[in-house]
Structure 1
Amino acid sequence: MSITIGVDIGGSHISSAAINGNDFVIIPQTYFSGPVDSKASKEVIIKKWAEIINQTIVAVHKHSEYSSNDKIGIAFSMPGPFQYESGIAMFEGNDKYESLYNVCVSEELIKYLSTKNVSFRFLNDASCFGVGGCLGENTLEANKVIAITLGTGFGAAFLDDKLPVTQGDNVPHNGCLWDKTFKDDIADSYFSTRWFLNEYEKITGKKLTDGVKEIASIENFSTAKIFDDFANNLSEFLIPFIKDFDADVLIIGGNIAKSHRLFLSKLKDNLKNNNLDLAISIVENTEQTSILGSSYLYNEVFWERIKTELPYF
């Protein structure tokens, strides 16, 4: 029997869990998470990743029917830039994990894992979130899905029947949105935590440090205006992409999504006013959803469809 472990790599954390492949839910007591210093040395980062994954390996043998002789498939939800087919990190000039530049993650990681009977597969983190949003408890009756994550950065994925689409006339280049032009800058500057902090300081003259959660807790005219402006900007930016892709569903995750009560209604109204009546699904646990999505790489039918088209960025 094979075991699948999904791993979500964030800018400052790693999360790991074993997945039940029959119904795509996390096996109880196998989820572990921990902080990672993304500016540390290669050895420190890889050892920390292995530490968390090893906790899941021990737990899955303890709390499930799997034995220590079963092969383990480890699937990564990995941010770019990354060579997803070869497993080589290309982090450079983006202020995170730069010590892993040109490092083959699977070759280094296996040195520190508690078992060597493993295989590795990798997919972009935004794509994993999108796939995970269509699985398990989040199962959606939709063919075409746009998934976005709103947090320290702006992630996006376009999926057709769960398959990430990165090229074609109906999707932006590489299936990414963060680097696309919006107003006087790029989208990442408008749909991330720093935009909220900058807007709050601009309106009130005060600096906040606890992100969007802190702004959401204040609830006055100034913060209401910030969330309204955010909803207006987001709808204005997304509408052309939604129309081009003919999306059925928009999935929204990331820390900013936890404050959806302050912007979702406005966003829906704006989309309807542009004759777009697509469903919107809010996912509050982005990490676990990404873990589920990564585990789908060990669905062999899905893997056969995607492995020759893994993005190289």
Structure 2
Amino acid sequence: MRKYAIGADIGGSHISCAIIDLDSKNLVEGTFASEVVNNKAEATDILDSWAAAINQSLAHITAKELAGIGFAMPGPFDYEKGIALFTSQNDKFEKLHGINVVDELRKRLKIDSQSGIRFMNDATAFAVGEDWFGMGKAYTRTLSITLGTGFGSAFIANGIPVVEGNEVPEMGCVWHLPYKDDIADAYFSTRWCIKRYLELSGVEVSGVKQIADEAETNKIAKQVFIEFGNNLGELLAPWMNKFGAEALVIGGNISKAYRHFGESLEEALKANGCSTEVHRSELMEDAAFIGSARLFDEDFWKHVQPLLSKM
């Protein structure tokens, strides 16, 4: 009877969730819910906002039909125990530090004791969602990345995240890799685009969309994206070759500007001997909550549970 799972994506300013039918592997129409979340608020307010969205989705099924709720959660977080590890250095959710999110949510959610609550890194959940429902499903080995406020990534082989071994970087992600005079996260995020545009033009912009809107007619804006694509290809090519990635799937807000950096990215990949196919996500943010719902596909869970401590 427990054929449904709720997937929930925890963003810095919102939560979004929906029900997934685990038998048919389909998103259940009409079950999407979203709530605005103040990540600087007190723990009670944050948890109440998360619960409000999930309870909206839960209203479409009975308690006995729910296998559980999977969360695509940013780090730092204890994904095994469900304990928040955010601090003031993370600039979000610091009031949740040390709180057992499982215990607190069970007080607020209309679920029974047989329904589980599980967690997975948000970038990994995005990659799992793309592999299960999206652009990665036709491939055996993929790398999925999210380009936005931060730089998320995960390698997937035969449907399972790869977080250790010689063929992937430490933790199975690339944000921490040394690149030029810093680390990759400093170069493949919104703040780099804003910083680089300021360096070249002397003009401060509010976000990547503003640069993208000017890229057709503004040579400096175009140059920012060309550099971005060249750098991204240079960073990823060696690891995709090592992993044997058949496809690269790109999501996140910066991916909406793919028409401006895609050509330089693909040229840089080829120049570095990488023939991996490149796809822009169609699921976008939905991929993360779809991937987190898969935590209640029991065959998937038995493979991924031992990996949670390494995410």
Mapping for residues 54-73 of structure 1, pairs under 5 Å = 54-58=55-59, 60-61=60-61, 67-73=62-68
1:76 partner amino acid: F
Shift of 1:70: 2.5
Asked if 1:77 is matched to 2:72, the reply is: yes
Shift of 1:72: 4.1
1:213 partner amino acid: K
Is contact 1:77-1:291 (8 Å) kept? yes
Q: Which residue of structure 2 aligns with residue 112 of structure 1?
A: 108
- Pair 1:139–1:186, CA change in 2 (3 A): closer
Q: Which residue of structure 1 aligns with residue 86 of structure 2?
A: 91
- Pair 1:13–1:99, CA change in 2 (3 A): same
Q: Distance in 2 between matches of 1:280 and 1:34?
A: 32
Mapping for residues 196-207 of structure 1, pairs under 5 Å = 196-207=193-204
1:31 partner amino acid: F
Which deviates more, 31-40 or 277-286? 277-286
Q: Which residue of structure 1 aligns with residue 50 of structure 2?
A: 49
The alignment partner of 1:122 has SS state of strand
Unaligned runs of 5+ in 1: 62-66
Shift of 1:83: 1.2
Q: Which residue of structure 2 aligns with residue 222 of structure 1?
A: 220
Asked if 1:170 is matched to 2:171, the reply is: no
Aligned partner (choices 258, 261, 264) of residue 260 of structure 1: 258
Aligned partner (choices 224, 235, 242) of residue 237 of structure 1: 235
Q: Which residue of structure 1 aligns with residue 41 of structure 2?
A: 40
Q: Distance in 1 between matches of 2:245 and 2:136?
A: 16
TM-score (norm 2): 0.94
Q: Distance in 1 between matches of 2:231 and 2:85?
A: 31
Q: Distance in 1 between matches of 2:23 and 2:208?
A: 37
- Pair 1:31–1:238, CA change in 2 (3 A): same
Deviation string, structure 1 residues 45-93 (Cα, Å, up to 9, x no partner)? 10000011011111x23xxxxx343334100111111111111111122
Which deviates more, 261-270 or 186-195? 261-270
Asked if 1:273 is matched to 2:271, the reply is: yes
Q: Which residue of structure 2 aligns with residue 100 of structure 1?
A: 96
Q: Which residue of structure 2 aligns with residue 64 of structure 1?
A: none
1:69 partner amino acid: K
Is contact 1:166-1:311 (8 Å) kept? no
Percent identical across equivalent pairs?
Answer: 41
Q: Distance in 1 between matches of 2:211 and 2:283?
A: 20
Which deviates more, 136-145 or 256-265? 136-145
The alignment partner of 1:252 has SS state of strand
2:251 partner amino acid: G
TM-score (norm 1): 0.93
Is contact 1:258-1:284 (8 Å) kept? no
Is contact 1:24-1:292 (8 Å) kept? no
Q: Distance in 1 between matches of 2:298 and 2:40?
A: 35
Q: Which residue of structure 1 aligns with residue 209 of structure 2?
A: 213
Deviation string, structure 1 residues 199-257 (Cα, Å, up to 9, x no partner)? 11112211111x11111011211111110000111011111211221211111100001
Is contact 2:247-2:278 (8 Å) kept? yes
